[in-house]
Amino acid sequence: MWVRNAWYVAAWDHEIAPGRIAARTIVDQPLVLYRTGAGEIVALEDRCCHRFAPLSLGRLEGDDLRCMYHGLKFAPDGRCIEIPGQPLIPRSACVRRYPARTVGSWVWVWMGDDAAAADPARIPSSVALDDPAYRLRAGQLDYAAHYLLIDDNLLDLSHLSFAHEKTLGLNMPQWADNRPTMTPIDRGLRVQRWLRNHAPSGFMKKLGERVDVWNSYDFIFPGVFLQRTVFFPPGTQDPTDTPLFYRVDEQAVTPMTERSSRYFYAAGARSGDLTDDRVDRLFDVTKAAFHEDKVIIEAQQKLIDLDPGRPMLPTSLDAGPTRFRKMVEAMVASGS
């Protein structure tokens, strides 16, 4: 059961280049995305109302999209405006238009039935990739897994000490030993913790022999992860003090089908904290870590599917995933 009344990340903004037609699937719905001449994103149902050919195999004609099976042409609002060989266009000749917005560098699409309920104010703000205050790199990854397994992973960073022992764990057993505080926020959780007395490695050694690390992220339905990992001199109490290093990670998990999800991610730091070369290295490590997640989560999904009714063993590590899943269950139950 999907939550339909929500904004979902459909693409990086740069993927919807002028003149390009992009096919996407979100919560089992086929979408076609393109950009008008004025730069506005159009998201339509990717299913021609005539005989259900995908419009993503069609042709852009100015701001309109023509189905290249029998030639019906659709305006950006989804109305059919031409039927070859038939002057009369019935009112029912249309495809659904989904509200779409770019916020930060993500293209968001509202998947709810009621377009009037699509409040752009509910889209979480994220840093644009070209924001001069930061140096960021971006990528994406497809998972053969249910999106909530990826959410579980992001809501329990204790796995950094094990799944990412040699990449993001960075010799920080505290990820597993330290329980974070969790505060409810709109459709999500804020997760925060201090990781004290950490010995930085690699190029972070220049920060000092020991540092205290403040890790804070907002996790918002369906899987938006907005994290700051901030390095301070040892003994720092206030995470708003001037930091030594300020890392940014912004990610979004989008359910495509029951067993496929797309994971959008950006990683970097304040522009003064890293050279381009260093941000490339940081990003390479991050990408390697995300492949570690993918391997373990896809394997986990296969084992779950072998025996779907089998109960898991709850531990204190599961507080975040458990709370978030309860929120999602409540959203599904309320018909969101």
Given the structure tokens 């009112």, which residue do they identify? Answer: 91
How far apart CA 214 and CA 272 sit, in angstroms, is 19
Q: By CB under 6 A, name the one of 65, 67, 136, 207 that touches ligand FES.
A: 67
For ligand FES, the closer CB: 71 or 139: 71
Give DSSP secondary structure letters for 83-124: -TT-S---TT-B-PEEPEEEETTEEEEE-SS-GGG--GGGSP
Q: Does 250 bind Fe ion (CB under 5 A)?
A: no
Q: Does 72 bind ligand FES (CB under 6 A)?
A: yes
Q: Look at the alpha carbons of 50, 53, 58, 64 in this order and tell me if their dihedral is positive or negative.
A: positive
Q: Does 71 bind ligand FES (CB under 6 A)?
A: yes
Given the structure tokens 């974070």, which residue do they identify? Answer: 180
For ligand FES, the closer CB: 67 or 204: 67
Least distance (Å) from Fe ion to the CB of residue 144? 17
Which residue number has the CB closest to Fe ion? Answer: 293
Q: Does 293 bind Fe ion (CB under 5 A)?
A: yes
Interface stretch with ligand FES, choices 68-76, 118-126, 234-242, 245-253 (CB under 6 A): 68-76
53 — phi, psi (to 5°)?
-75, 150
Name the residue among 168, 218, 151, 143 with its Cα closest to residue 188: 218
Interface stretch with ligand FES, choices 62-70, 120-128, 218-226, 316-324 (CB under 6 A): 62-70
Q: Does 212 bind Fe ion (CB under 5 A)?
A: no
Q: Does 69 bind ligand FES (CB under 6 A)?
A: yes
How far apart CA 224 and CA 8 sit, in angstroms, is 9
What are the residues binding ligand FES (CB under 6 A)?
48, 50-51, 53, 67, 69-72
